Structure 1
């Protein structure tokens, strides 16, 4: 594992060091086995990056680099720089949300400062041949922050008023709510349509791929595709 970075500049230097390596090369450098695919190891790429860059939060409810206040997010992309999937942010609280404000939410905290690490990860590329791109630091600008806040507030209102069953992936401009569970038996408490307690699948907040694509375009001046 790399030493914990002492500054943002040191973290970005570490990103430059691993940019251009394949996941197989980095895994070998860190003496980590490479799974055949990600079906049973969905978090492997993120864990490898955390190890390589010295992230220290582990499973704690903190940014990945607590002292720097920076969250690490890997972003699988195709050869044209287009994200291949939405980006998981955090678990959505389904009860006890009355009076919660955006600024205090875990989504807001997670997205204050994000280190994006693009990974060339087209489906036909074997896992060990996928290539690490240039990491960069992002903070939401005023427009992005306003969109995220509006999405969060609308989704949380639906959750609080018992409308969770009606929330679809199409809700939200940048942020969406989706089931987040290993299997259909992993149920959690929520509020039903008539205010009654119900059991439902856990949900997670995700950034939509067109939102992360706009972030990439903003950083690398990519042509709109």
Structure 2
């Protein structure tokens, strides 16, 4: 029987720490002591290694306590992200900042579905809300969204409609950061959005204006009041293709 992430994401202590000196090692009550995955201090290598151990495993196998038996729907889409967070012992929180504080890495789970006979990203990767009040004063070198793009842990999972969440399977996982070509495209998109906002043309923003980095509608206001930075779906599909070796990097 496979272990859930509650057990799977633990590390054994040294043999001398497994039981108190006074406890009989032959006792049936003797249990191994475990420690949580050190998400706040883990290195990039430790984080990526743990993520790759999830590949090929269904979500039901990873964290059954979070009830992944329900079918996927917009109301419970957050369950998948919570399951992957639990695999790294990241507590539920809504604070700003990276999920892996010490390494400065954010965790993003991305659904993959079949589109036109080919696996593609079902959603954009959201990078946080756009602050229209401060954006005109920003420069790319210190832009808020640029820090979000520094390095991310991307976990791709297979999504199917009307399917129990627990049957979704992890397809690929790894650290990602934009290469030189992608960085130039992202900067150009950011500059276009920033200039439009600075010129008072915020309501003219549209995702169709950019190639990689988008200003996606999110929240109330039908796009005119609130938007979020995001990596667009075709680009996310390209990242997935590179990660599984289908597409050249």
Common fold by TM > 0.5: yes
Offset, 1:56: 6.2
Q: Does the CA-based 8 Å contact 1:22-1:132 persist in structure 2?
A: yes
Aligned to 2:208: 170
Offset, 1:92: 0.6
Structure 1 length as normaliser, TM-score? 0.82
Alpha-carbon deviations, 1:83-120, whole Å to 9, x = none? 12222111111113332112322221111111110010
Structure 2 counterpart SS, 1:25 = helix
Cα distance in 2 for residues equivalent to 1:112 and 1:219: 17
Alpha-carbon deviations, 1:158-194, whole Å to 9, x = none? 122221211112021101112211x559x9xxxxxxx
Alpha-carbon deviations, 1:129-164, whole Å to 9, x = none? 111123111121111011111111111211222212
Larger Rg: 1 or 2?
2
Cα distance in 2 for residues equivalent to 1:43 and 1:110: 20
Structure 2 length as normaliser, TM-score? 0.75
1:207 partnered with 2:241: no
Q: For residues 147 and 100 of structure 1, do their structure 2 counterparts lie closer, same or farther at Cα, with a shift above 3 Å needed?
A: same
Cα distance in 2 for residues equivalent to 1:168 and 1:50: 32
Aligned to 2:51: 15
1:109 partnered with 2:143: no
Alpha-carbon deviations, 1:12-43, whole Å to 9, x = none? 22212222221222221xx2123443322332
Aligned to 2:174: 136
1:156 partnered with 2:178: no
Q: For residues 25 and 62 of structure 1, do their structure 2 counterparts lie closer, same or farther at Cα, with a shift above 3 Å needed?
A: same
- Aligned residue pair count: 208
Cα distance in 2 for residues equivalent to 1:149 and 1:33: 41
Alpha-carbon deviations, 1:43-69, whole Å to 9, x = none? 222222112123469322211111011
Q: CA RMSD in A?
A: 2.4
Aligned to 1:196: none
Cα distance in 2 for residues equivalent to 1:104 and 1:61: 17
Q: For residues 149 and 54 of structure 1, do their structure 2 counterparts lie closer, same or farther at Cα, with a shift above 3 Å needed?
A: farther
Q: For residues 67 and 223 of structure 1, do their structure 2 counterparts lie closer, same or farther at Cα, with a shift above 3 Å needed?
A: closer
Moved over 3 A (4+): 54-58
Aligned to 1:88: 126
Aligned to 1:100: 138
Q: Does the CA-based 8 Å contact 1:56-1:65 persist in structure 2?
A: no
1:44 partnered with 2:79: yes
Aligned to 1:194: none
Unmatched segments (≥5 aa) in structure 1? 188-199
